[in-house]
Chains A and B, each alone.
Chain A
């Protein structure tokens, strides 16, 4: 038995191998990576200031000075989209991270402990589900004030519910499995078991759901900002740019098309990546 020299591959190595064969997912990964790098570098590479107005110029279609045209205030669209990306991607990632943190912990504890605690925790989730979540966010924003970081957290705070349910379901099926029982009999603490055995085994669905949460969070931010509860002018985000673009789409279609294409591209990339990761991380799929 011990003579076999073949090196075992870890879950991550397997996943990476499978992912690298999925070209759509790779494409998604590259796009997301590119957008993130661009967003980080924006303050240094943006051609203009995002708030620099030129009222005399007004809205102009794409030209050599303004590659993606200008908006009604004469602000460069390329710059605005780049800066908008910073906000949208930050909202997407931070709010999703908040949702991830709360959701995974909540679901894991509920599913693992079970019994009364589980029932209680899941009823809390049910109650929160029943709340019209838009009103809930609006209330949070009214109570805590209009602060961009709070906006991220508020969105995250309502997006964790589905995550908690998914994780709970996974955990419930896992905790009866042999390796968990083994861990038990070895005398590991509950917390260590959750951390070392349960959570890593729920990664697949969690990662997939995460990639789906990011775009929905971005759209939510646009809606809140439009209501005056999110980010405020002169700052902008993709969602806001699209909202304003819709209003003038007949006169100045480029104000809608470019931010629209950018957002769609991001959403597609995230979806492809999510699909790819799901396939790659599914342990039931055979290794070949």
Chain B
């Protein structure tokens, strides 16, 4: 930095500030070296979680922590994502594919030592289906016989729902239709069990936001237990001695850091404060790629970045307007010139290739047609189009995309757009109560099936949040898709539904994610997969030996 010397004193102090702050918290050995020795994984988690209650949380940062604290009946192989034994030791599936019988481990325990058995699941799933709880993921249960009816109140007797504890360690689940992805669902946090005694100690079963998830109160059944939750600083989980597979857990402790700023996160990584970052600033990706830095990890990610449109806002009710907006986003320019991390422009909602599903699309970048559509909607050359607000959660890359799109819409449609950023929890609230016009959103696959991307837009889907409701769409996804016999037929139904969705455009897909993070070389047994799901119980830390490793021909 030769030109530093010429800068005025004040200014160079300003430049030094972040460096001083960072070095101030170092104090000798850095986190990573120390963590490698005592088995502590330092994990950049992106943001402060909204909640650690598995039946309330909806986001990826929450997911990262909850999966460390809890485990489902079935787990997933961290490489292939194939179902493998979790709390259930084994299971059988009836011939018609509707009845699943799970045999639970007799040595499974809650983190306070309480026995963990089939009744926990019956109670937890009952809780998750209480409408008062406001579980946005309740529809994940709807493949279970009568679960939807119970949730909607047409049945009031929970005994009629297809969830039965045959004995202490046998759980039988009856589905209304054979559901090919049902085992995958069991690994999703919305179907995790919660500890009844703890939940009821701090409130009623269907009360939101009670203190049961707080430091000192939380009881889980996963490989780790919550040991400290310092708001906006860190969440620490440590090895759970009661976990059934505790002997094979490689880590003693995981510390999750809610660093929202990707730039600071990357600096923390370089300063040896983190083993893994939740993202990489897009401007730094090219230099990492150039130097072939082995910490950079880019892999396919089953997720779509999109803009939600609040279809109850008067001027956004028109399909023509939404289409005009969708046609004037130059997705190639965004992925190539702003994101730079190998993301794929998205012209349909479901990521292409999900279980062999390739959605058709009539979206493209076409400002000419868009202007015509906007004129047809009554806004010739953008005249009288109300100033519209794009809401995003505070994050550098969301801001950049919003700034680029703001200008694309201004340039091609001559409409004025304002940007509004909110902190993660506030943003989630605004979005779910519909207090927005257009909002940045992302959907990351919970399980690998197109259904996961399409069933959120059912009229009553908790994650719909657009106010869009289409009877034909509900019929296709809710009634037809679950009942068709072959995989090809299913995909065809999804194709029809998605075409409808892309015709109406309550959401504007922008790009298909790649998961981009920096991972320290000492983190072992952490393969990438398209759900970007970490299996913390398998990860272990092993620092590279200091001397140069032998090259291959020396062996």
Contacts and interface: CB of A to CB of B under 8 A. Distances in A.
A246 B418 CA distance: 24
Contacts of A72: 283, 338, 400
A129 to B, nearest CB: 26
The 10 lowest CB-CB distance pairs between A and B, nearest first, are A228-B421, A55-B337, A55-B333, A247-B263, A264-B11, A264-B8, A53-B407, A233-B403, A251-B283, A248-B283
Contacts of A59: 283
Nearest to B418: A232
Contacts of A268: 8, 10
Nearest to A268: B8
A84 to B, nearest CB: 15
Interface string B448-490: 0000000000000000000000000000000000000000000
B15 A233 contact: no
Interface in B9-44: 10-11, 14-15, 18
B403 A234 contact: yes
B425 interface: no
A233 B399 contact: yes
A249 B407 contact: no
Contacts of B400: 72-73
Tell me if B's interface is mostly helix, strand, loop or mixed: helix
Contacts of B1: 253
A56 B337 contact: yes
B11 A55 contact: no
Interface residues of B, number: 36
A267 interface: yes
Given A232-B418, A257-B3, 6 more contacts: A73-B404, A228-B394, A246-B263, A248-B281, A263-B11, A264-B11
A233 to B, nearest CB: 5
Contacts of A264: 7-8, 10-11
Given A228-B422, A251-B283, A252-B283, A58 B396 contact: no
B420 interface: yes
A260 B11 contact: yes
Given A55-B338, A228-B394, A248-B283, A260 B406 contact: no
B287 interface: yes
Interface in A207-265: 228, 232-234, 242, 246-253, 256-257, 260-261, 263-265
Interface string B394-419: 10100110111011001100000011
Contacts of A247: 261, 263, 281, 283, 396
A24 to B, nearest CB: 14
Contacts of B403: 73, 233-234
A253 B109 CA distance: 55
A248 B340 CA distance: 15
Contacts of B18: 246
A58 B11 contact: no
Contact of B410 (A51, A250, A263): A51
Given A56-B337, A72-B338, A233-B399, A260 B404 contact: no
B330 interface: yes
B284 A58 contact: no
Contacts of A58: 337
Contacts of A267: 10
A246 B420 CA distance: 22
Contacts of B404: 53, 55, 73
Given A247-B263, A252-B283, A261 B337 contact: no
Residue from the set B18, B333, B400, B403 with the largest chain A CB neighbour count within 10 Å: B403
B387 to A, nearest CB: 11
Contacts of A261: 7-8, 11
Contacts of A250: 284
Interface string B253-282: 000000001010000000000000000010
A268 B8 CA distance: 9
Interface in B426-464: none
A251 B337 contact: no
Contacts of B284: 250-251
B408 to A, nearest CB: 8
A231 to B, nearest CB: 11
Interface string A53-78: 10110110000000000001100000
Tell me if A's interface is mostly helix, strand, loop or mixed: loop
28 contacts: A51-B410, A55-B404, A56-B337, A58-B337, A72-B283, A73-B403, A73-B404, A73-B407, A228-B422, A232-B418, A233-B402, A233-B419, A234-B406, A246-B18, A248-B263, A249-B15, A250-B284, A251-B283, A256-B15, A257-B3, A257-B7, A260-B15, A261-B7, A263-B11, A264-B7, A264-B10, A265-B8, A268-B8
Nearest to B422: A228
Nearest to B333: A55
Contacts of A256: 15
A219 to B, nearest CB: 10
A252 B410 CA distance: 27
Contacts of A265: 8
B419 A232 contact: yes
A233 B396 CA distance: 13
A131 B421 CA distance: 25
A242 B410 CA distance: 25
A55 B3 contact: no
A267 B14 CA distance: 13
A257 B2 CA distance: 12
A260 B14 contact: yes
Interface string B333-368: 110011000000000000000000000000000000
Contact of A228 (B337, B411, B420): B420
A12 B334 CA distance: 58
Given A55-B337, A58-B337, A233 B406 contact: yes
A93 B281 CA distance: 36
Contacts of B334: 55
A234 B287 CA distance: 27
A260 B407 contact: no
Contacts of B261: 247
Nearest to A51: B407
Nearest to B340: A58
Interface string A168-184: 00000000000000000
Nearest to B421: A228
A55 B334 CA distance: 8
Contacts of B281: 247-248
Nearest to B8: A264
Given A51-B410, A56-B337, A232-B419, A251 B287 contact: yes
Nearest to A248: B283
B419 A260 contact: no
Nearest to B330: A55
Contacts of A257: 3, 7
A252 B263 CA distance: 13
B267 to A, nearest CB: 9
Contacts of B422: 228
Nearest to A265: B8
A72 B407 CA distance: 14
Nearest to B261: A247
Contacts of A252: 283
A52 to B, nearest CB: 8
B47 to A, nearest CB: 15
Contacts of B10: 264, 267-268
A59 B333 CA distance: 14
Contacts of A73: 338, 400, 403-404, 407
A124 B181 CA distance: 65
